[in-house]
Amino acid sequence: MKSLEQQLSRLDLNLLVSLSVLLKEKNVSRAAEVLYLSQPAMSRTLKRLRDVFDDPLFYRESAGLQPTEKALTLKEPLSEILLSINKLIDSTQFSPQNCDQTFRISLPPLMSRQLSVPLIKELMKNAPKASLVEYPAAWDATTLLKDRAVDFSIHIEKPRNDLEFPSELIGQTYPVFYGMAGHPLSNQEKVSLEDCLQYQFVDLNLDLRSVSDIHNPIDSYLESKGVKRDIVFKSGQLNTLVDAMQDSNKMLISTHTLRKVDDFKHRLTPIFELQNEPKMNINVYLIEHKRTLNSPAHQWLKQLILNTLRDKAFA
């Protein structure tokens, strides 16, 4: 038994368009003009239509072509088919103002506040009917993309398979050691890494699904130097960590962009930074799956993400 596609493969869509025009014009010459065809070409098209439907479809009278009963029964479903095809084509003409799609994106928790806030503000302004769902980034950026759990992933690791997971560089960040305003080291003229490690730390869980004990890139760096942090509290919420630091000398390591966030820039003080350490200059990528490369909605959002975060978070 032939499939639907096999049965329809012998049918030229242009024939259905021609039939629709013939039903409206009831005249071969006028139908040819509407479709910018010659009269002989239109006559050949009518012959093909008669073969396809095994019916004369029209007969001649003094007033012009008159549809047969078969042609009349085709008129309504033909109109619905052409309307559906038109809607299908229009669906590829993306309009942000009319977009009601829900987009899903994963972000590194350390950067979530700095990245998601400016992004959702731009999305609400440009596509007021659309929505955004944020997920914490997986240790392997491709996992959520491959499983269709997210549409985009912002990650510090570039995928090895560029064909399946295309990526673009958003910007670069580096670790900064933060203390609360008034921290003892904030007034010290010159602060070293060793000075910072004398204090206890709060830390953000980067990926609860990972089996690795080393989640934060800074810990790999410290390990290479034979030192480590004394971490007394971990949480998946940055606000919780900052609240836990209140009235204490605990420290937090986060991205340099955190100092730009209104809620934190008045509470946290940058104590020590690793901007001049090449190994700690971390690239941040926007990663997608190849399935969204031809989606107008996703490509529009991709450009919005790049423009917003390059201009604001990583400026």
Contact by Cβ (8 Å): 186, 269: yes
Residue with tokens 């019916």: 55
Q: Do both 195 and 274 map to the same domain?
A: yes
Q: The domain spanning residue 61 has which CATH number? A: 1.10.10.10
Q: Is the pLDDT of residue 223 over 80?
A: yes
Contacts of 288 (CB under 8 A, 6+ apart): 145, 151, 152, 153, 165, 166, 167, 298, 302
Q: Do both 195 and 49 map to the same domain?
A: no
Q: Do both 165 and 299 map to the same domain?
A: yes
Residue 236 lies in a domain: yes
Q: For position 212, what pLDDT does the model report?
A: 44
Measure CA 189 to chain center.
Answer: 45
Residue 95 lies in a domain: no
User: CA 160 → CA 46, 151, 154, 280, distances in Å?
Assistant: 55, 18, 15, 20
Beta bridge partners, 233, equal 202
Q: Is the pLDDT of residue 165 over 80?
A: yes
Residue 284 dihedral angles phi and psi, to the nearest 5°: -120, 125
Q: Is the pLDDT of residue 137 over 90?
A: no
Q: Amino acid identity, residue 270?
A: P
Last residue of a domain, one of 90, 111, 134: 90
Q: How far apart are CA 226 and CA 204, in angstroms?
A: 22
Q: Cα 212–283–120 angle (5° rounding)? A: 90
Q: Do both 196 and 130 map to the same domain?
A: no
Q: Do both 79 and 150 map to the same domain?
A: no
Q: Do both 80 and 119 map to the same domain?
A: no
Residue 107 lies in a domain: yes
Express each pLDDT in 39-61 by its tens digit.
Answer: 999 999 999 999 888 999 999 88
The number of distinct structural domains making up the chain is 3
Q: For position 64, what pLDDT does the model report?
A: 81
Q: For position 111, what pLDDT does the model report?
A: 75
Q: The domain spanning residue 147 has which CATH number? A: 3.40.190.10
- H or E, element range at 131: strand 131-136
Range of the domain at 42: 4-90
Q: Do both 188 and 271 map to the same domain?
A: yes
Contact by Cβ (8 Å): 155, 108: yes
Residue scoring higher pLDDT (271 or 92): 271
Q: For position 262, what pLDDT does the model report?
A: 66
Residue 97 lies in a domain: no
Residue 47 lies in a domain: yes
Residue 161 lies in a domain: yes
**Mean pLDDT rounded to a whole number for the chain:** 86
- As a whole number of Å, the CA-based R_g of the chain is 31
Percent of the chain with pLDDT over 90: 40
Q: Is the pLDDT of residue 209 over 60?
A: no
Q: How far apart are CA 42 and CA 221, in angstroms?
A: 75
Lowest mean pLDDT among 4-8, 186-190, 194-198: 4-8
Length of the chain: 315
Lowest mean pLDDT among 56-70, 71-85, 176-190, 206-220: 206-220
Q: Do both 276 and 286 map to the same domain?
A: no
Beta bridge partners, 7, equal none
Q: Do both 179 and 198 map to the same domain?
A: yes
Q: Do both 154 and 184 map to the same domain?
A: no
Percent of the chain with pLDDT over 70: 90
Lowest mean pLDDT among 55-64, 87-96, 158-167, 253-262: 87-96
Q: Is the pLDDT of residue 230 over 90?
A: yes
Q: Is the pLDDT of residue 214 over 50?
A: no
Q: For position 36, what pLDDT does the model report?
A: 86
Q: Is the pLDDT of residue 163 over 60?
A: yes
Q: For position 4, what pLDDT does the model report?
A: 56
Question: pLDDT-based confidence at 6, cuts 50/70/90?
Answer: low
Measure CA 60 to chain center.
Answer: 57
Contact by Cβ (8 Å): 194, 255: no
Q: Do both 161 and 66 map to the same domain?
A: no
Residue 96 lies in a domain: no
Average pLDDT over residues 227-247: 90
Q: For position 125, what pLDDT does the model report?
A: 94
Q: Is the pLDDT of residue 170 over 50?
A: yes
Q: Do both 296 and 147 map to the same domain?
A: yes
User: Ramachandran region of residue 57, left (φ > 0), alpha (ψ -120 to 50) or beta?
Assistant: left
User: CA 204 → CA 4, 112, 171, 254, 288, distances in Å?
Assistant: 54, 11, 21, 9, 25
Residue 195 lies in a domain: yes
Residue scoring higher pLDDT (73 or 92): 73
Average pLDDT over residues 243-258: 91
pTM of this structure: 0.64
Residue with tokens 């869509």: 13
Q: For position 206, what pLDDT does the model report?
A: 56
Last residue of a domain, one of 52, 67, 90: 90
- In this structure, the number of other CB atoms found within 10 A of the CB of residue 203 comes to 21
Express each pLDDT in 293-303 by its tens digit.
Answer: 988 889 999 99
Residue scoring higher pLDDT (201 or 3): 201
